[in-house]
Structure 1
Amino acid sequence: MGFGSYDESEQDNQEYDTDFEDEDGLDAEENAHEGDIEYEFTASNDELLDRLEDIKDNQNT
């Protein structure tokens, strides 16, 4: 067989393991965070908007 070719009969012989056990996955609640997060901004809105413009300009160059 050449590169990129395949035996079509192999398509019927493929077996897929679709038996998933609960232990196989991640427990999303295992590391759940219950609390508060506070942010303190030291820049003004104008400074933040200027910085955003700078970032956009740098991405376009």
Structure 2
Amino acid sequence: MGFGSYDESEQENQNADADYDEEDAVNVHQNDHDGSVSFDTGASSGELVDRLQEMKDDDDDDEE
């Protein structure tokens, strides 16, 4: 046949199994975690702003 050929008879009677219990369902909140994250660079705000500007300037140079 051609690309991705298949027997159409295989596509018949494909009923989704709708008979499931709540216990079988996936609990997406099973591994939720409460907490916080902090990150201290030791750099001042001015240093961070300067570094951001350098990164932006580098991007502008790459586009040219």
- Which TM-score band applies after superposition, normalised by the shorter structure? 0.3 to 0.5
Higher helix share: 2
Q: TM-score, normalised by structure 1?
A: 0.43
Q: TM-score, normalised by structure 2?
A: 0.42
